[in-house]
Homo-oligomer: A and B are copies of this chain.
């Protein structure tokens, strides 16, 4: 077996070493492109005191929401949490610490962590509650705030197609935060819809090179839709 084969045999193995009070970076936007089964495995393990970095926190009974219900999350760093009643309850009661972070800043914090950039300046959030306590600096007459990168003990990622070496391709807008999350974990765990032998993917068309991936497992996905909006045939 090649040393580059990242495939593991079970979800248990995929998340081995995940312990209480660790930080998890999660891919996904809303319920789209979320690592459903890895989240379920965290629920099954019952790991507590987690810090979760994710754009959203799922809904009450799906996605990261299931970890909220079990009170496994202590702190969440997210940009939008409006879809989740339990979330709001825990936040308002002070049981859950929430750090609201602008979506683009969150994406860039993950990317920066993976790219060895400890901090960067952005105009986003200057003069708002997000900028409070952060350094302000002027470049070309504009004010920017300093934002630091966020690294995870684990990153959990959902891909569409992977090869055994961990090269990943995402499908449509299920890509979202997954490529940055994949770079930002000390241990990056990926679940994919399909795993093909190394060498089958076009090197020019890989979204996440396998160097970022530590463990890989094939899963089946519910892919729940949050807002099912349709038009009727013939309608513009």
Q: Residues of A with Cβ closer than 8 Å to B?
A: 108, 112, 115-123, 137, 139-140, 142, 144, 148, 169-172, 175, 203-205
Contact = CB atoms under 8 A, between A and B. Distances in A.
A211 to B, nearest CB: 15
Nearest to A140: B118
Please provide the 7 A-B residue pairs with the shortest distance between their CB atoms, ordered closest to farther. A118-B139, A120-B120, A119-B121, A117-B120, A118-B121, A205-B205, A118-B144
A222 to B, nearest CB: 22
Contact of A117 (B108, B118, B137, B171): B108
Given A112-B120, A117-B122, 12 more contacts: A116-B123, A117-B120, A117-B121, A118-B139, A118-B142, A119-B120, A119-B137, A119-B144, A120-B121, A139-B148, A175-B204, A205-B205
Contacts of A123: 116
A50 B205 CA distance: 35
Contacts of A142: 118
A142 B116 CA distance: 11
Given A148-B139, A171-B204, A172-B204, A116 B122 contact: yes
**Copies of the protein in its oligomer:** 2
A119 B148 contact: no
22 contacts: A112-B120, A116-B123, A117-B120, A117-B121, A117-B122, A118-B121, A118-B140, A118-B144, A119-B120, A119-B121, A119-B137, A119-B139, A119-B144, A120-B120, A120-B121, A139-B148, A169-B204, A170-B204, A171-B204, A172-B203, A175-B204, A205-B205
A204 to B, nearest CB: 6
Contacts of A140: 118
Nearest to A120: B120
Most buried by B among A108, A121, A169: A121
A143 B30 CA distance: 37
A208 B226 CA distance: 29
Nearest to A118: B139
Nearest to A160: B204
Nearest to A149: B139
A73 B234 CA distance: 58
A98 B160 CA distance: 45
Most buried by B among A112, A118, A172, A205: A118
